[in-house]
Amino acid sequence: MQFKQLAQFWQKIEGRASRLEMTAILADLFKEAGAEEINKIVYLSLGCLQPKFAGVEFNLAEKMVLRSINRAFNCQSEAIYKKTGDLGKVISNFQLPISNKISNLTVKEVYQRLWEIAVDSGQGSQERKVNNLARLMQDLDSLSAQFIVRIPVNNLRLGFSDMTVLDGLSWMVRGDKSLRPELEKAFNVCADIGFISQEFKNYGIQRIQKIKPQAGVPVRPQKSERLASAEAIVEKLKTFAVEGKWDGLRVQIHLDRASAKASAGEAKLFEDKQAALVRIFSRNLDNITAMFPDISAAVEKLAVKSIILDGEAVAFDPKTGKLRPFQETVQRKRVHGISEAVKSLPIKVFVYDILFLNGGSLIEKPFRQRRKILEAIINQPGVLNLAKQDIVADVRRLRELMADYIKQGLEGVMAKKLDEPYQAGARNFNWVKLKKATEGKLVDTLDCAVMGYYLGKGKRTGFGIGAFLVGVISGGKIGSVAKIGTGLTDEQWREMQQRCQKLSIKVKPAEYLVAKNLNCDVWVKPQLVTEILADEITKSPIHAFGLALRFPRLVNFRDDKTVADATAKQELEKLFRLQKQ
């Protein structure tokens, strides 16, 4: 396929608000795509070159892309960008030499040139990246160039996600979403959307049904549901396992001794050839291997050929053994100063599940059987620790364990059904969390996306921020749920302003649903997630989804989560109903 054809499909999608129309256009695109290029088309359509876990980054900021535009077309683009906030519109606003240009570059050729830009490193690489992106723009037609400049800054603006791609694949074959469940099941255990699309295009649903977990490719984590009380959990689950609920970083740890070489993307990102032997993925599937050499060293000592473990990493005080709060643990997520952080913030991983062992999948096995296998492998305390587990069937014992874990500094407990498989990517009552009671009716905190902020008055003039707006997600949109102006320390206000300032943009993002009387003084990109505590959820005539948080306050900045991991509208509605139980 010629790249200009792909750009024409993207232009059609960009003008659609209907998810169904987007899906139909994607289906047509996938029909046109060749079997050897559909994975590249999928990656590019999502604004990337590889699945997220591969860690391939362009390392090109907006200013550098503007330099490329200026260099390519001998123009000054900064003023238009400040006005529009869209690099693509910078191209379309100029009468450039490429406005009527005909380009015959194929998708594979453009992909390869973008790949070479992304993985270029070493002395002088930034200048080479700018020059090579400029040359690529010169070789493209205007429409193609408008989309190309958005990709390095991860802002393609097409408004769909992996799940829409799966819908499009189903529509490609069936003309409806009937194959989505099987495609999503495969994607949940092998989170490489390009691989899934290529297997489906080449071999059909029969091959998709055979996809299993493999060491080195992340499995989408199983998630937990909420219930309002210990009584409700016992009534729902009957007899179940109880473990602590740690306030740390969820980690999925992969070991594969047969793998000998890191991918190009990983090598360029981390300069760490051992990343192929041990890989550690975050909750949102980022490759964080290089940040945790202590975990890697511990995993390499296991007497296994290959393994996938699920657990929670928590920093601790080496003198007292006491676990540290989340905000200290998250400081271990860094690219620089790693060896110093290992000493000052040592980590314990509480391992609570095993998904894969010695080349074979374990996710189909019941939890009690997976636990026995895990007990035989993780049997000595150290960096890797077997999560303590109790079998419970009554309210009194559940409350005792809850009180004990809270006394230890944990958030609460996890209750897990004993005879269920590991359901990758699912949120259901196989796992149920119960957190320590809050002052109000709300049974859990919410993970909300920060949408923008309001300038301060009085004392907060010095902070540059007086309140901020947060929202929850629904179908690619982010709807406001609370304006928060109290409950933060001076230090938190300063940090909020600094974080927001780095993400500030001139124009409200199209995916934001905000009433006019809530419009922010400064909008921010949808990249900052905060944990919010509130007394209760109330009905609201102002906020986007008809619900609002009463007396909201900031608990934490959730640097381990992306906006895709934020609380969904459906979860908000579920929490609202739970208040009445």
Q: Which helix (H) or strand (E) holds 113?
A: helix 107-119
Angle 287-290-296 (CA atoms, 0-180°, nearest 5)? 95
CA distances from 18 to 32, 173, 511 (A): 22, 20, 13
Alpha helices in 356-408 (DSSP H): 367-377, 395-407
C-alpha neighbours within 13 Å on the C-beta side of residue 220: 22
Q: Which helix (H) or strand (E) holds 186?
A: helix 180-189
pLDDT value of residue 78: 85
pLDDT < 70 stretches in the chain: 94-101, 259-276, 437-441, 458-461, 580-581
pLDDT value of residue 270: 36
Torsion sign across C-alpha atoms 534, 536, 542, 544: positive
Among 4, 245, 417, 569, the active-site one is 245
Q: Write the pLDDT tens digit of every residue in 352-383.
A: 999 999 999 999 999 999 999 999 999 999 99
CB 346 within 8 A of CB 315: yes
Q: Domains of the chain, with CATH numbers?
A: 223-435 (3.30.470.30), 446-578 (2.40.50.140)
Angle 187-206-309 (CA atoms, 0-180°, nearest 5)? 35
Q: Write the pLDDT tens digit of every residue in 311-339.
A: 999 999 988 989 998 889 989 988 889 99
Residue 245: active-site member: yes
Torsion sign across C-alpha atoms 273, 254, 557, 408: negative
pLDDT value of residue 96: 57
| Distance separating alpha carbons of residues 426 and 452, to the nearest angstrom | 31
| Residue 169 burial (10 A CB sphere; 0-12, 13-18, 19+) | buried
pTM over 0.85: no
Q: Write the pLDDT tens digit of every residue in 54-68.
A: 989 999 988 999 999
Q: Write the pLDDT tens digit of every residue in 174-199.
A: 999 999 999 999 999 999 999 999 99
| Distance separating alpha carbons of residues 104 and 32, to the nearest angstrom | 16
pLDDT value of residue 260: 47
